[in-house]
Amino acid sequence: MSDFQEFLENSLQQKIKQLIPLTGGASADINRIVLANEDELIVRRTLSQEKSVMAIPKILEAKIQKVVKKNGAPVPAIIFEFSEGEEIGEGYVMEAIPGETIPRKILRDKKFASAREKLPFEIGKSLAKIHQTQLDDLKALDQVTFSDSLGKLFQVYLSFNQPQPVFDLAFKWLEAQKLTEYGDVLVHGDFRFGNFIISEENLESIIDWELAHIGNPMEDLGWLCVRSWRFGNVEKRVGGLGDIKDLIAGYESNSDIKIDESQLDIWQLYGSLRWGVICMMQTFAHLSGMVNSVEKAAIGRRVSETEFDLMNMIKHKNFL
Amino acid sequence: MSVFDRPTSKELLEAVIDFIDAEIKSDSYPANKKFKFQIVLNVLNIVKREVETGKEVNEKLTKSGSKLLNEENFSIEKLSEKIRNKELDYENQSLIDFLYDLTEEKIKIDNPKYK
């Protein structure tokens, strides 16, 4: 038995039948815990040697989930947190919410048909709840303004030393926009399909809080609308699933914030640019020799997809 | 004209693409490997399309790029620099049109189904 399994058994005071590794966020080691009585839990942790520059510490992730849950938004309940030495790392155990996260299945499988109809509204409603989270307990989170984000993204882009004129145009376009301030809120930071657990009935849970920060609420809404997560259903702006009107209606049904679609457009354009730079980051991990991966090499040629999206938004004002 | 014999580089790539495609279509092929080989196929198809039309596209865009920059020698680096230092304004219609063309040509090579 591994030290990690032994540690979990001692902490949970229960025998573990199986630990199943799951693929997850860029900076987390995630396992499904199957207990001797067949109950299931999820453990997310970071091993000390693989701390990411982008992700927040796992303990903070757990804290956010607790605060968000207390406020009534759908997130898995935290069972316990740990911060141990190198072998075990830092992380937390949470409840395993049954449901599907794979976007293509949610978008295509018959059994999700009735859930699909209400998801844009429900996702908007839950996001509004998240954005109302009291920030008093979350002071450890970074506060990030739009110009901070843009500046940081530009530095990352410059670091590859591979000019992409479309990105340069997009940076200049974004710098010239007038952003509406809605007051600081808790931003999930990676709010899109893949991080939603969906049952046949509804949205069950929002997971993967490792990019959370304090910022503008429109960031989450814009990111959700980025074309890269529509999985072929291009005309459906909300994750390939539904209309933006339903998302906005859901959000506004639960919030005092009134959404201006033109603000959402700006944040969606920013989202496409951000995804483009992340694709570059992935491919340069391969090109620099840090890892040798055909997937990472291939993703470099997906940068042109984000450039195509950016140019359609800039030239044709087409946000679909 | 080329000093190299047939099969041409494009024909060689096509042979490899057809082989992998047939191999992963068989039911006995494990699903996890199928996924990886699908990525390999995508990569090979990008290379094939670039071998096929890349030179011509490059020449065409270099020509229109020179016109945009009003300089004899065009380069992507120069263009980026001029946008960064605002020599070319982000609202300049000729710049936007050029970048749109550039993007359309790139997507035709990288992922022609992306529309």
Q: How many CA atoms lie within 13 A of A300 on its CB side?
A: 16
DSSP string computed for A225-240: T-GGGSTT-TT-TBTT
Distance CA B26, CA B110 (A): 26
| pLDDT higher at A86 or A88 | A88
pLDDT value of position A296: 93
* Domains contained in chain B, number: 1
CA dist A292 to A297, A298, B47, Å?
Answer: 8, 12, 19
Distance CA A79, CA A237 (A): 36
Contact A216, A181 (CB under 8 A): yes
pLDDT digits 0-9 by tens, A22-59: 875 556 789 999 999 999 999 999 886 555 667 899 99
CB proximity B47 to A under 8 Å: no
* Token pair 């004129």 in the structure block, residue: A165
pLDDT confidence of A160, banded at 50, 70, 90?
Answer: very high
State the average pLDDT for chain A.
Answer: 93
CB proximity B100 to A under 8 Å: yes
Contact A273, A167 (CB under 8 A): yes
Tabulate helix, strand, coil % of chain A (nearest 5): 45, 15, 35
Q: Which residue of A has its CA nearest to B99?
A: A166
Q: Is residue B97 in some structural domain?
A: yes
Q: Is residue B54 in some structural domain?
A: yes
pLDDT digits 0-9 by tens, B26-62: 888 888 788 889 999 999 999 999 999 999 999 999 9
Distance CA B2, CA B5 (A): 8
Q: Is residue B1 in some structural domain?
A: no
Partners of residue B96 in chain A, C-beta under 8 Å: 169, 311, 314-315
pLDDT value of position B34: 87
- In chain A, what is the straight-line distance between the N-terminal and C-terminal CA atoms, in Å? 51
pLDDT digits 0-9 by tens, A37-47: 999 999 999 88
Q: Which residue of B has its CA nearest to A174?
A: B90
- A56: amino acid identity, one letter: I
DSSP string computed for A208-227: --TT-EEE-THHHHHHHT-G
Q: Which residue of A has its CA nearest to B113?
A: A232
| Interchain pair B39, A173: CB under 8 A | no
Nearest-neighbour CA in chain B from A241: distance (Å): 18
Q: Is residue B65 in some structural domain?
A: yes
| Interchain pair A166, B97: CB under 8 A | no
CB proximity B86 to A under 8 Å: yes
All domains of chain A in start order, with CATH: 3-95 (3.30.200.20), 103-316 (3.90.1200.10)
Q: With 90 as the cut, is the pLDDT of residue A62 above it?
A: yes
pTM: 0.93
Domain that residue B78 falls in: 9-110
What average pLDDT score do residues A99-118 get? Answer: 94
Q: Is residue B4 in some structural domain?
A: no
Distance CA B113, CA B107 (A): 9
pLDDT value of position A2: 85
pLDDT digits 0-9 by tens, B53-98: 999 999 999 999 999 999 999 999 999 999 999 999 999 999 999 9
Contact B40, B20 (CB under 8 A): yes
Q: Is residue B3 in some structural domain?
A: no
Partners of residue A172 in chain B, C-beta under 8 Å: 83-84, 86, 90
Q: Is residue B2 in some structural domain?
A: no
Distance CA A117, CA A246 (A): 10
B99's tokens: 């970048």
Contact A124, A191 (CB under 8 A): no
A171's tokens: 């940076």
A153's tokens: 């993204």
| Interchain pair A315, B97: CB under 8 A | yes
